[in-house]
A and B are shown apart, each in its own frame.
Chain A
Amino acid sequence: MTASIEHVLDILDRAHTGRPATVKEWGFELSRVIAQKAKKYGLEKTCGRDNPVNWDDELADRFYQAGLELALEMGELCQDTERVIKITEEDLADAVKDAPAEAQLGKGRDRVVMRHRRPEDPLRPLSASPMGQMVREDLYVALHQGVAQHREIDILRNATPITMFGRQVLAGSPYETAVGRFQARLTSEALWRAGRPGMPVQGVVSSPTVFGQLGSFGLSGSFDPELHYAVILSPGELTTSFHVLHKVIHASNCGARTACGFPCTIGGFVGGPEGAAISYIADVHLQFALHQTDFWNAFICDARYLGNGGREAQWAQSVATQALTRNTHFLGIEVAGQLGGPCTEMLLYECAVSMINLSASGTSCYLGPRTSGTKYANHISPLECKFCAEVLKGAAGLTRRQANDLLNALIPKYEADLYKPHTGKGFDECYDLATLRPSEEWAGIYLKVKKELAGMGVPLALP
């Protein structure tokens, strides 16, 4: 599904004629309306630290209604015009009806089908890796080749090359226009080397403004709208911008599908875990209703430690995902915010927690991991990407109560370290770059944690 240009222009008209609100006013209003919805639906203080995975369907459905009402009542703020884009019930109903319930991605042997899932669904979700981490230019192809060589991983989502021909790239400058294509060429090389030329790619990651996408998507020899889809990220909760709308229009012009994302931050204007879940549900609907996305692409982050491995964020993610997967047929590409780095047990435990939770809550596709909080250059390796895919798919069909028990056993293994995470090693430190195999140390950690998970009841194939 590509966005209809008439629809996008209508949204743009609303962005120029809606009621005015500054970003600060919008934040306070959002906070107030979320609190009203939480009260109306009896959602206050429902977050259970002892139960990081929700299994109460009725509670998930109440969150859904609250989120739906929030989307209708608030709409979205356009950051550039500082006006509110309202949506109607009809907009929302059309968005829910028209959104795809499945999508074919890639081609040939690498073609995959993303399907809607529900909580506790035995259907195996898709896995997309790595994710946006900064990687040295000379390691870029090897890293992506290493990821793509694992067939458990269905979709490639690029890392960000730190430099382009040795030059620093500046957002919004002509360097950005050039780097999108640069990234597409390197990705293509990596997929060829891995023997997966038809693997779908989520691009353009290196596009803070619209220029990276303009310079690469839909151009000959670059990201192909038939195979790949465009990622478009909004700047704030229930907020859009001209850059976002530029990208939506450009993707529509190319005939490309899109994955629209947004931030959702516990501790920010949305409040605590309950408010974050309500806001998440609302924002997902707005991505479909306003940006006509094919997939939503987001996660709930805890501002206190800038990840989501903690109990409150896991719970909020579980209830929000379940609300959406129970009440819509939307396709979600959901992220997890790990803080540990490669070659640490912490990273694998964090990954396991999010994979089990997301899989049991009904996500269609996982995107990540965000190793070391995407903070440390080169701190991403293929092995944790493979591990995520294995656990995500292995956990399909677990009940939410089983998932909850597993999370309660796993979270204590790292929660004390969320504020001082183990950043681990870089790709070039924990991999043999000639053979693209992990070091003995890293392979040993991987096997140890995997055996431990299998022993706890996660269905995983062991060597």
Chain B
Amino acid sequence: MSKAELIGRLATAIADGDEETVKETARAVLAAGIDPLEAITQGAVKGLDIIGERYQRLEAFLPDLIRGGDAMKACLGVFLPHVKPEQMQSISSGTVVIGTVSGDIHDIGKNLVASMLSVTGFDVCDIGTDVPVKRFIEKAEEVKARVIAMSALLTYSANYQKQVIDYLKDRGLREKYYVVVGGAPVSPEWAADIGADGYARTAIGAGRLMKKLVGGGTAPPLPQPLVVEQ
């Protein structure tokens, strides 16, 4: 199989969430002496883009996003030991700790965003729903996250997004993390009011937001939140 065929096969297998084919193809890529970074950026990432496009056309749904994210993890599991240390930053966008805030047990929006972040190249640590304020911070410290992402469906649970940011400030940790917020009652104005670094209206927008945020070169906290409406 030619280099182009192998990379194309990798993209297709990622898009289809076919973990076994992904691992097999990744090993064939290495055996053929192809640069793993090139296979990731030209093949695997292309596969993730395909899933995003299918989602927008209602040809892929949450289960497909999750499978695609898992396939990407399997792909990186094969490639990463062979990637040079100086290339690592161009592959991983960093770790995001994501959860639905305290008093709120809704998880559909959070799941969609978590899956979309996985297929956008983030290492996602999903800590579930009804997450107490301190748990966000403890987990972020534990996994050395770059981003804390909080979802809320209800007005009175969204207030905990502010509580998390205030707690980060009070503990002197605000400069360590980008904090992004989303959910039904959450608006760009709310994000600005509570001192968040970013807001996205949709799951696809959340992927774009995170990429802009961590790739933007400005350390947290940002003076005004980055806003992605689409």
Q: Which residues of A does B touch, CB under 8 Å?
A: 23-24, 27-28, 31, 79, 132, 134, 160, 162, 168-173, 175-176, 179, 206, 208-209, 235-237, 241, 243, 263, 265-273, 275, 303-306, 312, 373-377, 419-420
Contact = CB atoms under 8 A, between A and B. Distances in A.
Interface stretch (B4-12, B77-85, B184-192): B184-192
A375 B61 contact: no
Given A170-B160, A268-B108, A304 B155 contact: no
Contacts of A160: 155-156
Contacts of B58: 266-267, 272-273, 304, 312
Contact of B103 (A208, A303, A305, A374): A208
Interface string B206-228: 00000000000000000000000
- Give the most central of A169, A172, A175, A373: most B CB within 10 Å: A172
Given A235-B106, A243-B105, 19 more contacts: A27-B62, A28-B63, A134-B155, A172-B103, A206-B156, A208-B104, A235-B105, A235-B129, A263-B108, A267-B55, A267-B61, A269-B63, A270-B61, A273-B58, A303-B203, A304-B56, A306-B184, A374-B185, A419-B202
Contacts of A206: 155-156
B196 to A, nearest CB: 15
Interface of B: 55-56, 58, 61-63, 66, 102-109, 111-112, 129-130, 154-157, 159-160, 162-163, 184-187, 189, 201-204, 229-230
Contacts of B201: 306
A265 B160 CA distance: 25
B36 to A, nearest CB: 29
A273 B106 CA distance: 21
Contacts of A271: 61, 63
A268 B103 contact: no
B62 A171 contact: no
A173 B165 CA distance: 18
A411 to B, nearest CB: 16
A171 B159 contact: yes
Contact of A168 (B61, B104, B159, B189): B159
B155 A265 contact: no
Contact of B157 (A208, A269, A303): A208
Nearest to A235: B105
Contact of A268 (B62, B102, B154, B202): B62
Nearest to B184: A374
25 contacts: A24-B66, A31-B61, A31-B63, A79-B105, A170-B102, A173-B103, A175-B156, A179-B156, A209-B103, A236-B107, A236-B108, A237-B108, A268-B112, A270-B61, A271-B61, A275-B61, A303-B108, A304-B56, A305-B202, A375-B184, A375-B185, A376-B187, A419-B229, A419-B230, A420-B229
A45 to B, nearest CB: 10
Contacts of A236: 106-108
A366 to B, nearest CB: 19
A377 B184 CA distance: 12
A133 B208 CA distance: 28
Nearest to A244: B105
A420 B201 CA distance: 10
B186 A375 contact: yes
A303 B229 contact: no
A209 B107 CA distance: 15
A243 B129 CA distance: 13
Sort A-B residue pairs by CB-CB distance and give the 5 closest, nearest first.
Answer: A171-B103, A172-B103, A171-B157, A171-B156, A208-B154
B207 to A, nearest CB: 13
A23 B105 CA distance: 12
A297 to B, nearest CB: 15
A209 to B, nearest CB: 5
A265 B115 CA distance: 15
Given A269-B61, A375-B186, A420-B229, A306 B155 contact: no
B156 to A, nearest CB: 4
Which of A24, A168, A208, A273 has the most C-beta atoms of chain B within 10 angstroms of its own C-beta?
Answer: A208
Contact of A267 (B62, B103, B155): B62
Contacts of A373: 184
B170 to A, nearest CB: 16
Contacts of A173: 103
A169 B112 contact: no
A275 B157 CA distance: 29
Contacts of B160: 170-171
A373 B216 CA distance: 30
Contacts of B162: 168
Nearest to A241: B105
A172 B130 CA distance: 10
Nearest to A243: B105
A176 B154 CA distance: 12
A267 B63 contact: no
A204 to B, nearest CB: 11
Contacts of A263: 106, 108
A206 B155 CA distance: 8
Given A303-B112, A419-B229, A375 B187 contact: yes
B51 to A, nearest CB: 12
Q: Most chain-A CB neighbours within 10 Å: which of B61, B112, B155, B187? A: B155
Given A171-B160, A268-B112, A273-B58, A176 B103 contact: yes
Contacts of A79: 105, 129
Contacts of B130: 172
A303 B202 contact: yes
Contacts of A303: 108-109, 112, 202-203
A267 B112 contact: yes
A208 B63 CA distance: 27
B103 A170 contact: yes
Contact of A376 (B63, B189, B202): B189
